[in-house]
Structure 1
Amino acid sequence: MTEEQSLSCDVLVIGGGGAGLASAIEARTQGANVLLIEKNPELGGTTAWSIGSFSATQTPHQVTEGIDDSPDEHYEDMPKFSGPLADRDNPALRRIFVDNANDTLRWLMSMGVEFFGPMPEPPHRKPRMHNVLPNSRAYIHHLGKHAKKIGIEIRCNSRANKFLLEDDRVIGARCEMPSGITDVKAKAVVLASGDYAANADLKAKYISPEVAKVDAMNPNATGDGHEMAFPLGAKVLNGDVLSGPTLRFIPPPTESIERMLPPWPLITKVMRFALKYLPGRLLRPFVLGFTTTSMAPELDLFSNGALLVNKNGQRITGDTSKLGLTIASEPEKIGYVLFDSELAARYSAWPHFIATAPGISYAYLDDFRRTRPDIFNKADTVAELADALSMSPDQLNTSIEEHNSVSDVKISTPPFHALGPAKSYVVLTDGGLAVDDEHRLLGGDDQPIPGLFAAGSAGQGGLMLKGHGHHIGWAFTSGRRAGRHAAMEAGINVN
C-alpha cells in the first residue's frame, strides 16, 4: 500500500458540517492532530442549508436587552415544543445542551460569527432565538477558515464507508478519496455525518414508505454514518421523528442577494445595526427576499379556501396538515396554489400572510409578485391561467368546479392567481444514534464503542430538538464536546 493510500491522525472527524467543524476545532485546540473528511466538494452539510438560528440563554444579546433568563428555564421550555412526543426526550442530553449553549454561542462569536436577537418564539417564555448574519453559510465560512488556520487537515470529496476495527475498538475508517481507497488510522473517531432525510431506505424503515418518497431539502443527507455504525450494534432513537414533510415553494432559479452576501465583518455589523435601529418599512424589501425564498406557505391558506392542484391541473385533496405528504405522490411531486381576487385581497394584509420567517417578517401575495416572479402567475380567465401553467383549461375548470361544490369559499372572481410550483420536502430527520453523556456511540447492550464518538444529528441520541435554533445549537454544542472527549481518548492532556 502506497503512502497516499494510508493516513494516520489522532482524531478523525467524519463530516464537514457544523458538528464536524466544531469537533475538529475543539480537538485541535486541545492539541490533537486532526483530519476532517467531507464527502462533498465543499464544507457545509445541513448547517449551510438551514435558517441558521441558535437558541440559548444568558447570551451577550440577552444581557444587553436586560433579559433575565437561565438554562433551567430553557430546560423546562424545550419539551413544550414537542407536544405528545415530549416523553420520548433524552433529559440528560437536553441538560447538557442548555447548560452549554451559551458558551457555544460565545465561542462562535469569538471566531467572527455575528447574531441578531434575541427574538421571541413561543412557547419559549423569554426571547432566546438568535439569527445568524447574513445567513447560515457564515458558520461554515468562519469555522472553516479557523480550522485551516490552526492546522486541521481537511479533505473534501472523501467519503468514509467502513470503520476499521482492532478487536472491538474503532481505530479509523476506510475512505474513498480522489487518490483511491485509503485507510485512515486514528486514535479516536468522531462521526458527524448528519441525518438520513435523503435516504429512502432508512426513511421507509423508521418512518413510512410514503415518507420515503419525499425528497430532502439537503439531498446529501444520506445517512452514511448511520449505516456505517449499524454493523457495530448502534441503534437509532426516535427514528420516526422528523421535520416535514412540508410544502415549500421551489427555490428561485438564481440565488437571492441575501444568500449570496458574504459574511464579512462590515456587512454583518451593518446588518445588525440596521435590524436593530432602522424602521421596519425600510428593511422589509430585504427581509422579504429571505421569506419568499425559504419559507413554506401557511397551511391555513387551504382551510380558508385556496385550491391546490397538481401539474396537470387536477385537484389535490386530503387532510390539510398532510398535504406535504400527499403531494409527494403527485406527478413530479409538485403543486400550485390557486386564488381568486377575493381571496387574494384577503391575503394582502395582516393577519392573513402567505409565508413567515419567525421573528423576521411576513409575506403577502403582492410580496411574491415583486420578489418571486418566477412562481407568480395572474390571469383574467381560468383558461389563460391554465395556459400560463401549461395545464389543460378543461381540467383546471373541472378542479375549480369540484372545489367550489364542497368549499364555503368559492374561486370565482377574476383575476385569478397561482403560486408555484410548490414541492414537498423532508427538512431533516431526528433519528440519531444512541450516545452517552460523553457523546460516545453506544453499541450492543448500550455499551460505549471504544474509540467512537458521535455529534450533531448523527449523535442526537433521542434528544428532542423541536423549535427553531435547537438543531443548530446542538450541532455545535455536541460537536465541541465530542471533539474534546475524542482528544482525551487519543491520549491528549486536555485543558
Structure 2
Amino acid sequence: MNLSNADLAIAQAREFDIVVIGSGGAGLMSALAAARAGARVLLVEKSSLLGGTTAISGGQIWLPGNPHMEDLGRNDDRYATLAYLRQVTLGSVPEQYLEAFADAAPGVVTFIESATDLRLFAVDRPDYHAEWPGACDGRSLEPLPFTHVNPAGYPSVRRSRYRRPVTSVESRQNSAADLADQREKNGQLTQGAALVAALVEACAKAGVEIIANARFHDFSFSDGRISGVRISDMDGGVERAIQAHAVILACGGFEWNTTLTKAFFGTVPQLPVSPPFNEGDGLLAGLCVGAQLANMGESWWTAAIQIPGEAEDGQAAARNVVRELALPGSIMVNRAGHRFANEASSYNDLGKAFLRFDPKSCTYPNDKAWLVFDSNFKRRYNVLTVSKNQPPPDWFIQADSPALLAKRIGVSPVDLQHTVAAFNDQARHGVDQQFGRGDSRHDQFYGDIEHKPNACLAPLDVAPFYAVPISLGNLGTKGGLATSLEGAVLDREGNAIAGLFACGNVAASWMGLGYPGAGGSLGPILTAALLCGREIVRSIGFQDLNAV
C-alpha cells in the first residue's frame, strides 16, 4: 500500500517481529526468509515502486557451485572458488566471509526456486578473469521469463526504462525485438524485474506487509537495544514509531548523495546508474548509533552515459555502457585523446581507470572520456539507444576525419589522429599491444565472435567518425556498515549492535575491492540477505527453515 497517515497509524498499532527498510533484492530476500519461518514482517520502501536497483538490473546472480552449472556440463569446486575469490578481492575481505559465501551460495538457488515460482538458468559465460586459477564458466545465473501478477494491495514492481523482456542470451538473437513485444503483451518479465517480481509475489504469500512512499528517519530503543523505527510519508509529515524485535537495513547505498560521494571518492564526476533514492539513509542512521564502516572507497563502477531526455523518477538518468566498448571498431579516449584502458575489460575494473591520478599534471586525466567509432561500426551494430538502421541523433558528434572530430570534442587533433592510427595498425593484425583488448575470454564474450582475427578489434577508417561522451558511472556503492557473517551491524569495537542488521549495498560488500563475474554484486548480496533473515528468526525463537 502507498503510505497515508491512516496507513501509518495502522502500522503503528500492529506488532511486528522484523521491520525491513528497502525493497531491493536484499530487502525482499531477507523479508521472505524471515516470513517463511513464521515472523511477522513489515517492509518499508522509500519510493512508490518496489525493487530498487535490482529491478532495473540485468538480474544475473554470481553463485559458485550452483546446481544449474551441471546443465552446462560444468563442475565447480569449493577450493577453486576460494582461490579465485582471494585473488579477486586482493586480500580486502576476511577469509571467513569468503568461505561463508562459497558454502551458502548453492543454497540460495534452492531457496529461490522453492520459495518462489521463479526458475533460473546458468549462463554459458566465463568469469570476469577467466584465465585466473579457480575461474569457471557457468557461475552466473539469470531468471527465466516470469509472468507477473501484482499482489492485491502491493505497490507495483519497478521496471527498467531500457531493458526489454528478453534474457541476455535472447538479446543477441535477431528475433529479440519480436519476442520482447510478445512478452510485454503477456505481462512477462525478465532479468532483474523478473527476480523482484517473483520475490514480491512470494512475500505476499508469506504474509509480508509492505508500505511504500515512506521515509525512514531513525531508530527507537528499549532496554538498551534497537526496538523499531520511526517513519513518515515522503513529505516529512507526522512521524510514527513502528516497534519490532529487529530492524534490517536494506535501503541501498549512497551514490545519489553528492556530499558522501565526494567525501569518500573524491572529485572525479560520476553518474549514478540507479533509481534516485539511494542517498545513504541507512548508512547515516547506522553512524548515529555507533556503527563501524568498511570498504568505503569502493563502488560497483562502470562506464556510463547520460542520454539527453532520459529520466528516472523525475531525475536525469544514466545508463551503463558495456558492449559498445568491446565490439570491434570502437575505442575510448580521455581528454587528451589517448586510450587509457582495455575497453572490453569488466566494467567494474574499467571504471577504476577513470579514477587514476596523474602526479605530474596534478589532474585526473581520465575523468572525461569519449567513445569514438566510425561509420562501419555504426552500420554493423546498435549503439546505445540508436539502432544500426537509424540516422545518427544530435548527441552523436560527427566529423569527416579524426582530426576534425578531435576539434569538435575538445581534444588534441594530433594526439587523436595518432591514437586512431596506432590502434588501426594493431587492429589489422588482431593484437592490441597496448592493453590486450580481446585477449581474454571475457573480452571475447562481449565482442563479435564472427569478426576475425580478434572479436574486439577492427580499424576505424571509414568516415564519418562519431564520438559520444562517457563518464565514470556508479551502479551502487559497496562500502557501508560493517556486519557479522549473519548480518548483525557491528559497532566500532566489533560488537553487534543489538537489534540492528544490514544487507545489500548499505552494508560493506563481501567482494571487497573486486568483482568476480556477471552478477558478482547480486549473488553475494542475496546470499548475505538469506543468512541475515534466517539468523534473526533463529535469534527470536522461530523454527529453522535452513533446508527450505
TM-score by structure 1 length?
0.73
For the 8 Å contact 1:204–1:210, the answer to whether it is kept is yes
1:223 maps onto 2:280 in alignment: yes
Alpha-carbon separation, structure 2, partners of 1:414 and 1:64: 44
1:466 maps onto 2:515 in alignment: yes
Change in Cα spacing, 1:113 to 1:409, as seen in structure 2 (3 Å) is: same
More helix by share: 1
- 1:306 Cα deviation after fit: 5.9
* 3-state SS, counterpart of residue 120 of structure 2: strand
Equivalent residue in structure 1 for 2:293, among 223, 232, 236: 236
For the 8 Å contact 2:337–2:419, the answer to whether it is kept is no
1:485 maps onto 2:535 in alignment: yes
Change in Cα spacing, 1:92 to 1:397, as seen in structure 2 (3 Å) is: closer
1:400 maps onto 2:413 in alignment: yes
For the 8 Å contact 1:195–1:222, the answer to whether it is kept is yes
- 1:129 Cα deviation after fit: 1.5
Equivalent residue in structure 1 for 2:388, among 366, 369, 389: 369
Alpha-carbon separation, structure 1, partners of 2:541 and 2:119: 34
Alpha-carbon separation, structure 2, partners of 1:181 and 1:145: 29
Alpha-carbon separation, structure 1, partners of 2:260 and 2:310: 32
- 1:418 Cα deviation after fit: 1.5
* 3-state SS, counterpart of residue 122 of structure 2: strand
Matches within 5 A, 1:139-150: 139-150=195-206
Matches within 5 A, 1:125-164: 125-127=135-137, 128-133=139-144, 134-164=190-220
- Aligned AA (1:220): F
Alpha-carbon separation, structure 1, partners of 2:43 and 2:388: 44
* 3-state SS, counterpart of residue 67 of structure 1: coil
* 3-state SS, counterpart of residue 88 of structure 1: coil
Equivalent residue in structure 1 for 2:102, among 82, 98, 103: 98
For the 8 Å contact 2:332–2:339, the answer to whether it is kept is no
- Aligned AA (1:449): I
* 3-state SS, counterpart of residue 536 of structure 2: helix
- Aligned AA (1:142): A
Q: Matched residues, percent identical? A: 24
For the 8 Å contact 2:264–2:297, the answer to whether it is kept is yes
For the 8 Å contact 2:325–2:332, the answer to whether it is kept is no
* 3-state SS, counterpart of residue 277 of structure 2: coil
Q: How many residues align?
A: 423
1:107 maps to: 111
- 1:462 Cα deviation after fit: 5.3
CA RMSD of aligned residues (A): 4.0
Change in Cα spacing, 1:69 to 1:319, as seen in structure 2 (3 Å) is: closer
- 1:473 Cα deviation after fit: 1.2
- Aligned AA (1:34): V
2:92 maps to: 88
Change in Cα spacing, 1:317 to 1:153, as seen in structure 2 (3 Å) is: same
- Aligned AA (1:426): N
For the 8 Å contact 2:17–2:246, the answer to whether it is kept is yes
Alpha-carbon separation, structure 1, partners of 2:60 and 2:327: 25
- 1:163 Cα deviation after fit: 1.1
Deviates more, 1:45-54 or 1:440-449: 45-54
Alpha-carbon separation, structure 2, partners of 1:454 and 1:379: 48
* 3-state SS, counterpart of residue 493 of structure 2: helix
- Aligned AA (2:255): A
1:417 maps onto 2:465 in alignment: yes
- Aligned AA (1:486): I
* 3-state SS, counterpart of residue 286 of structure 2: helix
Change in Cα spacing, 1:371 to 1:26, as seen in structure 2 (3 Å) is: farther
Could you give the per-residue CA deviations for residues 247-271 of structure 1, whole angstroms, max 9, x where no partner exists?
Answer: 234469789xxxxxxxxxxxxxxxx
1:337 maps onto 2:371 in alignment: yes
Could you give the per-residue CA deviations for residues 324-380 of structure 1, whole angstroms, max 9, x where no partner exists?
Answer: 459xx99xx976533456xx56x988xxxx9xxxxxxxx789995248955885867
2:322 maps to: 295
Alpha-carbon separation, structure 2, partners of 1:372 and 1:484: 54
2:250 maps to: 192
- Aligned AA (1:78): L
- 1:135 Cα deviation after fit: 1.3
Alpha-carbon separation, structure 2, partners of 1:203 and 1:293: 18
Alpha-carbon separation, structure 2, partners of 1:308 and 1:41: 39
TM-score by structure 2 length?
0.67
Alpha-carbon separation, structure 2, partners of 1:118 and 1:450: 40
Change in Cα spacing, 1:164 to 1:379, as seen in structure 2 (3 Å) is: closer
Change in Cα spacing, 1:318 to 1:167, as seen in structure 2 (3 Å) is: farther
- Aligned AA (1:161): H
Alpha-carbon separation, structure 1, partners of 2:26 and 2:230: 21
> Mind listing any 5+ residue stretches in structure 1 that lack a counterpart?
256-291, 310-314, 355-362, 387-392
For the 8 Å contact 2:325–2:331, the answer to whether it is kept is no
